Amino acid sequence: MTASATEYRLGISGMTCAACAMRIEKVLKRLPGVERAEVNLASEEAIVAGSDAVTRPAIQQAVEKAGYGIRADAGSEKTDREAWFLLAGAALTLPLLLPMALELTVGGMWMIDPWIQLALATPVQFGLGLPFYIGAWRALRAFSGNMDLLVALGTSAAFGLSLFMIDNPHHLYFESAAVIIVLVRLGKWLEKRAKKRTLSALSALNALWPAQARVRRDGVESDIPLQQLASGDIAIVRAGERVPADGRISIGDSEIDESLITGESRPRVVAKGDRVIGGSVNGMGAIEIEVAAVGAETTLARIIRMVTAAQGAKAPIQRLADRVSAIFVPVVIAIATITLIGWLLAGAGIETALINAVAVLVIACPCALGLATPAAIMVGVGAGAKRGILIRDAAALETAGGITVVAFDKTGTLTEGKPRIQGIKTTGGDERQALIIATALQTGSTHALADALRQAAEGLVLPQALEARVVAGRGVTARVDRRQYILGTAKMLQENGVDVVTLHDAAANFAADGASVSYLAETAPQPHLIALFAFADRLRPSAASAVAALHDLGVKSLMLTGDNKGAAARIAAELGLDDIRAELLPDDKTHAVDALQAEGAKVAMVGDGVNDAPALAAADLGLAMATGTDVAIETAGIALMRGDPALVPQAIALARATTRKIKENLAWAFVFNLLGIPLAAFGYLSPIIAGGAMALSSVAVITNALTLNRWRPQ
């Protein structure tokens, strides 16, 4: 799916249930140019994507026409105001419940004067209950229904019946209407407080930005707002301060705490030339950083965008709840009408029939149904972000839970991706001198093998290499101390008249162990072979435990590599992999994934390089090491913020835990309504009990989702 030209994320006010979210989605999808519209009840946000024809004013107008508004967060002040309204409503309602309490404890018949009941109930009905009437009117105006309509109809019926029968004080239901309103408002207030906790991970990430940055410009140090920081600036970070942006250390060394970004609990030792991430915390040493990325281009900003998008997206399993919610309110009103008529036909009085119909209207609120999936997704995505597992969207989360096979790339995924010299063999000369010449030839190279040579030759005095010429994919030639040398593949040496047969057996032994080989030779004045260098990439320390953890989850593992079969078999045996596919080109990896899927497997591909991108896209789920390339990360459904294979089974385990919570929530919501509506219709639930149960159902769903915050990898 191609990215849309325009995407907006807006807060929505006035939503009370899943039916509201569905109605807003339908309205937004009808706008010209809109390709995708998703409304999340839990986060109270809408994501609208489409062509350049889609504008924010048009979206706002459509939302307002549907009877809702664009939310402007009022923070804790709004929550506090709601709390005071609730306390006032509860204070007026409690006296209405006093006679019932006295009858249960003392016995006898107790009754408050009907006109006093009316005086107490009226402010609750039309003051605390005003939002329900406003929401109901919006729904009716849009020719649809929502929770507000159900509550407004139910409480108005109870209040109106009591007002009609005020001269018969033994059959008044003012307390039922008042208690329903107080309980539903209390449930919504508790729900909002709980929903804030589902966004705790996102809040923690946003809090990582420092307010200011200290920079040196034209030799002068000054503190500037973070928004004024520019690429190329030299930022000064003292001990204990947060790094203001992505960059590389130009002066100093220290330890960097990146735990909230990568999930790695141990500080990382850094020195000149090392990359640092904005938002991380500097340790004991002062450092200077050359800023490479600011604002939206930083790693932290990308993480926040991914977490925000994932928390706002819908999982495929949500479609079932959406379909039910779309027809739920009209069906409930029909059931309530049938209940009313049925009781009347059965010979019950209008009071009994009406109260049972009211109980149906109140118990059937679809709030829990609408919150079941998004609440669990928001908490699950946040829990993953805290541990360095960035889930791109809800579909990836759901897919991850069903993975049966994980295919690993080798280099940079199961291995560190940093070759080291495994051995040196000479034709009779000095190994140290051979290393000096080979490293001199690679002085200006950025190739990984050149880095391995420089690391091995650290501390040695290198001669100057002149007239260096690189042959792509083959090697390098240069003149050192008036002699012409070549460092490269066997084929390159043979093309230059150098016979490598002397070291053939040594090369074969190294290759069998998975090492790659480069030859050093002198080509002038007399061509002859000097030495062989074997390079090997070390396995990541957690690779074996990651494979074992996958097996514990019942997931098979295999490796897709371009290495020879012998080297691949050795690594597979060392790690305990179930299968290997060796000597593969990038396209072959994609074909291997396709073949596994054809066998019925749900495949996750784990990689880090550009050559892994096609296989990542072809797999049911792509997991990219964030230590790799941007192309791999952008292609994958899940980004792993540390180069740690152990994050792969952790991501699958978290996805399964989240999917389990979604199913538990949906089951709770469906069972609650399937049992509650018949009980209310047959007169086994009073409106007061129905109101309390309905309010608590939404809180129960969110509370169940919040238990994911306690999830820990095994």
Residue 349: CB partners within 8 Å, gap ≥ 6?
none
The DSSP code for 682 is: T
Residue 523 tokens read as 């080509």
Distance CA 267, CA 333 (A): 59
Rounded (5°) CA angle 186-192-198? 140
Q: Any idea which residue has 């991706």 for tokens?
A: 417
Say whether 528 sits in a helix, a strand or coil. strand
Residues in CB range of 67: below 8 A, 6 or more apart:
14, 135, 137, 138, 139, 141, 142
Beta-strand (E) ranges in 272-359?
Answer: 275-276, 281-282, 287-293
Cα–Cα distance between 64 and 46 in angstroms, integer? Answer: 13
CB atoms within 10 A of CB 246: 23
What pairs with residue 268 in β-bridges?
256
> Residue 42 corresponds to which tokens in the numbers above?
């839990």
The CA-atom distances, in angstroms, between 38 and each of 310, 393, 415, 674 are: 12, 12, 40, 27
Tell which residue, 528, 434, 522, 534, has the closest CA to residue 486.
522
At 534, the amino acid letter reads A
Backbone angles phi, psi at 105, to 5 degrees: -100, -45
Q: Under a CB-based contact definition with an 8 Å cutoff, are residues 682 and 440 in contact?
A: no
Residue of 374, 381, 212, 390 whose CA lies nearest to 301: 390
Distances (CA, A) of 378 to 395, 415, 598, 623: 13, 33, 33, 20
User: Which residue has tokens 């047969």?
Assistant: 501
Alpha helices (H) in 144-225, listed in sequence order: 147-164, 174-198, 200-206
Residue with tokens 């049911």: 620
Residue 571 phi, psi (nearest 5): -65, -40
Active site residue 409: yes
Under DSSP, the state recorded for 227 is G
| Catalytic-labelled residue, pool 233, 409, 608, 620 | 409
Compute the half-sphere exposure of residue 427: CA atoms within 13 Å on the CB side of its CA.
Answer: 15
What is the CB neighbour count within 10 angstroms for residue 227? 10
- Secondary structure class of 13 (helix, strand, coil): strand
Helix (H) or strand (E) holding 35: strand 34-40
| 3 state SS of 427 | coil
* Contact between 153 and 136 (Cβ < 8 Å): yes
Q: Give the span between the Cα atoms of 629 and 542, in whole angstroms.
A: 21
- Write the DSSP assignment of 575-593 as a string of letters: HT-SEEE-S--HHHHHHHH
Question: What SS3 class is residue 124?
Answer: helix
DSSP-assigned states of every residue in 466-516? EEEEEETTTEEEEEETTEEEEEE-HHHHHHTT---GGGHHHHHHHHHTT-E
Q: Is 345 exposed, middle or buried (0-12, 13-18, 19+ CB in 10 A)?
A: exposed
| 385 closest CA partner among 473, 261, 502 | 261
Single out the residue of 325, 339, 414, 407 nearest to residue 24, CA to CA: 325
Question: Which residues are tagged catalytic?
Answer: 409
